[in-house]
Amino acid sequence: MAKLKPPVEKNEMVELTFEDVTHEGDAVGKVNGYPLFVPYGLPGEKAIVKVLKVKKNFGYGKLMKVLEQSPARIEPPCDVFYQCGGCQLQHMSYEMQLEVKQKQVKDALRKLGHIEGIPIHPTIGMEDPWRYRNKVQIPVRGVEGRLETGFFKKRSHDIIDMDTCPITDEQNDRMVEAIRRIAEDAGIAPYDEEHHKGTLRHIMVRNGKATNEIMIVLVTRTEKLDYEEKIVNEIHKAYPNVKSIIQNVNSKRTNVILGHQTKVLWGEEYIYDTIGDVKFAISAKSFYQINPTQTKKLYDQALKYANLTGSETVIDAYCGIGTISLFLAKNAKKVYGVEIVPEAIEDAKNNAKLNGIDNAEFFVGAAEKVMTWWKAQGLKPDVIVVDPPRKGCDEALLQAMIDMKPKKIVYVSCNPSTLARDLRILEDGGFKTLEVQPVDMFPQTSHIEAVANVVLDV
């Protein structure tokens, strides 16, 4: 049987009407049923598109001209939006972003999880969806004898020289620029990725939104940092709310930003921040949510679905540094947190002490193995909370949850596709999904978080 040939060819110009937006933020239009994915298009728009790549079942195109513009199209406030890969949706009104993200969750549950007829609530957004990131990690390179900082261009390691990012806290923006200038004046050699030479690889700045404390991390290829004293003195004299200056050594040829070795050059090892009434110590390598304003809304939703009365035993799988665990502990009888990263568990224990919380215990290990062992010991949780990485829950963990038969599971997800897959497995194992609440943790990007309310179907 002859293979059906795609109805378009590479470099062909076609007229498209965009119907939808993918989970990566690309618009989708069809030519005789053949989908083309096109960045920067909006649903409802008619446009001229150049075909860039043709595959068997779909292709990619470039937006050449918008013929009929959507009322939701706006002028991106960032000068480098179309070059930088950090944001995907700045050309889309915030109202449409929230609608698109709700639809993504709804579509994933229907198509992948075969879950329909339950409320997928309107996305909880931000009042001001800009300047929300409390952490920035900027690569440093040398260009014509100068130190240059900026994000990488899409699908490349070429730096876009930039001095501001509209989704990053303004203070962090200014700190990166100041440190670049101080390092350049001191004569610090920038990292040369091609030849694996030079010293300064990345500048990382973290800040506590509630406390206004700042941590600066200089990521270097070499253990020796030339002019260390001069750099440290200039930073902490000029910027009094800098509480911590850290050097992280990453001597490997790698895309991973931080290396294993970290040392305090000046000040404290931690800065502090609060979400609601819970205080957190944040180190250079701590995982801490980058949008604390929305994190509070996300955790409030998880608490609402958990519906704790003070008598429950709760398991928090993938507990990280204890962020959700400590919120739960204030309303539960006992919380058990499990996480495979030992440093995160140390942070979780310290954060429990910091807040005077003594009904939360934390354990290092793979959640599925630890939970199977807990079940063998007779532990019967009333509620299980999971907040897995993008790949979703391990199959063995889903089975462990099914075997434990808690009255309630609260699933916090950063990927609608794996959420849908995992909810299907839980439903087949005797649970029922009641409702899902999307929360916009990363405005201007295509990412969406969601909290699912799941109960034992008896």
pLDDT digits (tens, 9 = 90+) for 406-421: 999 999 999 999 999 9
Report the pLDDT value the prediction gives residue 240, as an integer from 0 to 100: 85
> What digits encode the pLDDT tens for the residues 261-278?
999 999 999 999 999 999
Task: Using the predicted structure, report yes or no on whether residue 220 has a pLDDT greater than 90.
Answer: yes
In the chain, the percentage of residues whose pLDDT exceeds 70 is 99
> What digits encode the pLDDT tens for the residues 46-77?
999 999 999 999 999 999 999 999 999 999 99
> What digits encode the pLDDT tens for the residues 328-380?
999 999 999 999 999 999 999 999 999 999 999 999 999 999 999 999 999 99
Task: Using the predicted structure, report yes or no on whether residue 216 has a pLDDT greater than 60.
Answer: yes
Distance CA 216, CA 267 (A): 10
Report the pLDDT value the prediction gives residue 160, as an integer from 0 to 100: 86
The tokens for 15 are: 């007229």
Q: Which of 359, 368, 360 lies closest to 317, judged by CA?
A: 368
Task: Using the predicted structure, report yes or no on whether residue 2 has a pLDDT greater than 60.
Answer: no
Task: Using the predicted structure, report yes or no on whether residue 1 has a pLDDT greater than 50.
Answer: no
Report the pLDDT value the prediction gives residue 290, as an integer from 0 to 100: 95
pLDDT tier at 199, thresholds 50, 70, 90: very high
Distance CA 458, CA 439 (A): 29
In the chain, the percentage of residues whose pLDDT exceeds 90 is 90
- Domains of the chain (ranges; CATH) run 13-68 (2.40.50.140), 98-127+291-456 (3.40.50.150), 135-275 (2.40.50.1070)
The amino acid that residue 365 corresponds to is G
> What digits encode the pLDDT tens for the residues 282-337?
999 998 999 999 999 999 999 999 999 999 999 999 999 999 999 999 999 999 99
Report the pLDDT value the prediction gives residue 3, as an integer from 0 to 100: 63
Distance CA 260, CA 228 (A): 20
**Phi and psi torsions of 366, nearest 5°:** -70, 130
Distance CA 388, CA 390 (A): 7
Task: Using the predicted structure, report yes or no on whether residue 384 has a pLDDT greater than 80.
Answer: yes
Instruction: With H, G, I as helix, E, B as strand and everything else as coil, classify residue 54.
Output: strand
Q: What is the mean pLDDT of the chain?
A: 94
Cβ-based neighbours of 375, under 8 Å, separated by 6 or more: 400, 403, 404
Report the pLDDT value the prediction gives residue 401, as an integer from 0 to 100: 96
State mean pLDDT over 16-35: 95
Identify whether the C-beta of residue 430 lies closer than 8 Å to the C-beta of residue 403.
no
State mean pLDDT over 140-152: 86
Question: Strands 360-364 and 334-339: what pairing?
Answer: parallel
pLDDT tier at 217, thresholds 50, 70, 90: very high
Q: Which of 156, 181, 177 lies closest to 165, judged by CA?
A: 177
Catalytic status, residue 319: no
Catalytic residue among 87, 319, 393, 414: 414
Q: Which of 147, 128, 127, 129 lies closest to 138, judged by CA?
A: 147
3-state DSSP: the chain helix, strand, coil percent, rounded to 5?
25, 30, 45
